[in-house]
Amino acid sequence: MPAGGSRQFVARFTLGAALLALSVAVPLVARRSEPPQQPTDRPAVQPAPLPRFRAGANLVRLDAYVSTDGQPVSDLTAGDFEVYEDDQPQRVESFAFVEARRPGPVTTTAAPTPHSTQEQRAEAQEADARVFVLFLDYWHVGIDGSSRSVAPVSAFLDKVVGPNDLVGIMTPDITPQNITLLRRGTGIDHLLGDVWTWGQRDRAITVDPREDDIKGCYPDDGDTINIAKEMIERRREQKTLHAIESMVNYLDGLREERKFVVLFSEGWVLFGRNDRLGRALSEQPPGGRDPLGVGIDGRVTTGRPQEGGARNFDWCERERLMLAYIDHSLELRQLAQRANRANVSFYPIVPRGLTPFDDSMGPLRPAGPIEDNQRLGARQNGLRELAEQTDGAWVLNTNNTAAALARMLADTNSYYLLSYYSTNAKLDGRFRRITVRVKRPGVEVRARPGYLAPTEAEARAAGATLESAGGKPALPPEVTRALGAIVPGRGHLPARIQAAGLADRVRAVVELDAATLKEPEWHAGGTLQVSIESDRGGGAEQVSVPLAAGQRSVVIEAPEDDLPPGRYVVRVEGHPAGGSLTIRASTVAVVGAANTALGPEVIAFRRGPTTGLAYEPTADPRFRRTERIRLEVPVLVAGAVTATGRVLTREAQALPLHVAVGERTDADRGARYVVADVTLAPLAQGDYVVEVQSGTATATFGFRVVP
């Protein structure tokens, strides 16, 4: 490795190692005693309950920040507030004023540091413990900016973060599940001061070997001028946005109250479709010709060696075509919507301060003056939009971060926690606008602008018992659950999982999306890490399953030891052999369902023109009319079982469509299954449910017929 490359690698490794060491060192910190209770005139704020759903209505919780001339107002009552959803007045069900402990010197009276993931999540649920995440977007911050960030981070910790608060650090390379939430005084205060060279933008030597492959495939002259630069910038932007989206999804399940993300970034161009980048090249570039060499088997080959992260020209071309048709503006808008729903606010800070230009003078060719000005504006607009849409604040075009810290101080030190049951009983997943007003004149009120209503599947996953609205007959719960499990059209799922509980274990199908399978990282296959954990907590059963090159789905039965009856959360992490692009999916299965002949879940298979005569396991509920569905329902009782099957519409109306029902026994494990087979040719496009019954036991599977 060149000396410069070694230095860059060490700088980046130092930050990752520091974060890892910090998280490992936490359990070694001695527990401190609980802080003494301070006398107060206000009743202690108890953690608000989890969302409940009644009569089709959902409980909405929001934080309201009320101030006058920048100072918080703390003497309001519930009667002072008016809440509207889509201009319809809402009745405030609960009301509390939350005042965090003031920041100050770290003393022994601070709350104890959480020592485990469970303790972190428990501490994050406390109403007076705020959660902050520092996101270091190193792909879009130069080394000058990362060095400048030391001062605002130190000021942030001193002026905003209190002794009860939790702070975590994340980068595009850190998965949200690995964020360690710490209190002040555990090393986080000095971490970024010690490792200030984390900025990677405009580095002459890249830390990503794939960027060197791209530069080698597309020299910066002739027909390939600027191709490498744009591809590298698009890849970096995609990595960052995907990491932020994963972080939002993680914080969504951490707590209901607002979560604060301090985003250190110089912004994003927000690339869209570029037909010129995806055009057919006039000829293979000189850098893209595959050289003669000797493969690992000793034979002469014309391909580039696959060791050391190198990729051949075919990989470069696939990457170029994929990057040419991304739409990051749309992804940012969707990201802001998800953040709103998760009650996550962004506070972007551009650490490099005031600057007239976007591009530096190297190492890649800088843009022209007009394009450079457009790029700079796009970066700032993207950060501003993210802050505005999530009710945060931003620091742009200034070398002074005091204004942003003052805004954060006003935002986070005190707020009102309100909740109401929405008068809109539809569980349709649509965006609903929220307006909060205060009757007292001369005050400023800020709250999140809206939220995405839950779907029926999400409501049931939260433990809801839904009732029909408007006097209409309710659908059978099995039908509603099956329809809700159909993957919604919005969003891209890199992997899907379908699980069924047997008498003593879990049987699951994990399937990669077709787009995921085309990613270069998955061309050589990968590994699936599956964990099975009781929803009541406790240790998780782990199993690792290889995924061969080109293999899209796999059936997993685990664990080897018997599981006691109950509900289990099944999670899967996919790790490709060709990179670090981790994919995740999860679901729930009921093992040993009591007093029933059939298990409530099914495993699905498909057969069609692409599978020949074979049935392939699938977790994707989308099927074409040219395919057949085969369902396997676990039998949980001994002796003969008589079962019937039928196909239902969305309204639970039976269709005159034949369902062939039989039974099979697993030769290896002896497990029995009722098998239902359906031909889809007679069906039009739409959503349907296959229902299998045996006595009072019912199992359902929802699917969608697509063009």
Write the CATH number for 184. 3.40.50.410
Number of domains forming the structure of the chain? 3
Of 185, 119, 131, 125, residue with least CA distance to 158: 185
Q: List the structure tokens of 75.
A: 């003497």
Beta pairing partners, 587: 570
Backbone angles phi, psi at 6, to 5 degrees: -65, -40
The full length of the chain comes to 707
The residue written with tokens 């392939």 in the block is 616
Between strands 541-547 and 526-534, the pairing is antiparallel
The CATH number that applies at residue 598 is: 2.60.40.4070
Residues 591, 522 share a domain: yes
Q: Of 242, 412, 247, 457, which Cα lies nearest the Cα of 339?
A: 247
Average pLDDT over residues 36-46: 38
Residues 139 and 231 in one domain: yes
Give the Cβ contact number of residue 252 at 10 Å.
16
Instruction: For 184-199, give one letter per residue: b (16+ CB within 10 A) or e.
Output: bbbbbbebbeebbbbb
Q: Verify that 186 and 91 share a domain, yes or no.
A: no
Q: Looking at the predicted structure, is the pLDDT value of residue 567 above 80? A: yes
* 152 occurs within a structural domain: yes
> Token digits for 627?
């395919």
Tokens of 114: 């959480």
Asked if the structure places residue 314 within a domain, the reply is: no
C-alpha span between 58 and 467 (Å, rounded):
12
Residue 285 falls inside a structural domain: no
What's the pLDDT at 24? Answer: 37
- Which residue range forms the structural domain that includes residue 341? 3-30+126-205+217-276+325-411
Instruction: Indicate if 549 and 645 belong to the same structural domain.
Output: yes
Higher pLDDT, 240 or 518: 240
**In a 3-state reduction of DSSP, which class is residue 465?**
coil
37 within some domain: no
Percent of the chain with pLDDT over 70: 70
Q: Report which DSSP code applies to 152.
A: H
pLDDT for residue 647: 93
CB 63 within 8 A of CB 83: no
Q: Mean pLDDT across the chain, nearest whole number?
A: 75
- Greater confidence (355 vs 429) lies with 429
Both 166 and 100 in one domain: the answer is no
Residues 139 and 93 in one domain: no
Mean pLDDT of 379-395: 81
Task: Please report the pLDDT score of residue 676 as a whole number.
Answer: 94
* CB-side neighbour CA atoms (13 Å) of 458: 16
Residue 469 lies in a domain: no
Beta-carbon count within 10 A of 609 CB: 8
CA angle, corner 116, sides to 114 and 118, nearest 5?
95
Q: How many CB atoms lie within 10 A of CB 143?
A: 19
Together in a domain, 200 and 340:
yes
Please report the pLDDT score of residue 61 as a whole number: 76
Q: What is the average pLDDT across 142-162?
A: 72
Top-ranked range on mean pLDDT: pick from 12-21, 262-271, 462-471, 628-637: 628-637
The reported pLDDT for the residue numbered 366 is 63
Domain end call among 361, 380, 411: 411
Tell me: do 424 and 402 sit in the same domain.
no
Give the strand order in the sheet containing 566-576.
541-547, 526-534, 566-576, 583-591
pLDDT of residue 659: 92
For the chain, the helix, strand and coil percentages under 3-state DSSP, each to the nearest 5: 25, 30, 45
Query: Who's near 81: CB < 8 A, 6+ residues apart?
Result: 64, 92, 95, 416, 418, 436, 437, 438, 439
The answer to whether residue 23 scores a pLDDT higher than 60 is no
pLDDT class of 52 with cuts at 50, 70, 90? very low
CA angle 178, 184, 185 (to 5 degrees): 110
**Of the residues 453, 469, 503, which one is the last residue of a structural domain?**
453
Higher pLDDT, 182 or 244: 244
Whether 147 maps to a domain, the answer reads yes
User: What pLDDT digit, counting tens, does each position of 94-129 carry?
Assistant: 787 877 555 555 444 455 666 667 777 778 877 667
Ranking 40-54, 313-327, 488-502 by mean pLDDT, the lowest is: 40-54
Task: For residue range 432-460, list pLDDT tens digits in order.
Answer: 889 999 999 989 888 877 777 776 665 55
Does 459 map to a domain? Answer: no
Tokens of 470: 């408007």
Question: Do 426 and 406 have their domain in common?
Answer: no
Residues 685 and 568 in one domain: yes
Domain boundary among the residues 411, 431, 464 is at 411
Predicted local confidence at residue 644, as pLDDT: 93
Q: If pLDDT is split at 50, 70 and 90, which confidence band does 204 have?
A: low
Task: State the Cα–Cα distance between residues 340 and 334, nearest whole angstrom.
Answer: 10
- With respect to residue 395, please indicate whether it lies within any of the assigned structural domains: yes
- Residue (of 435, 555, 591) closest to 64 by Cα position: 435
Distance CA 171, CA 154 (A): 18
What b/e readout covers 388-414, taking b as 16+ CB neighbours within 10 angstroms?
A: ebbbbbbbbeeeebeebbebbebbbbb
Claim to verify: residue 701 and residue 609 sit in the same structural domain: yes
Mean pLDDT of 125-135: 79
Q: Are residues 518 and 651 in the same domain?
A: yes
C-beta atoms surrounding 546 within 10 Å: 11
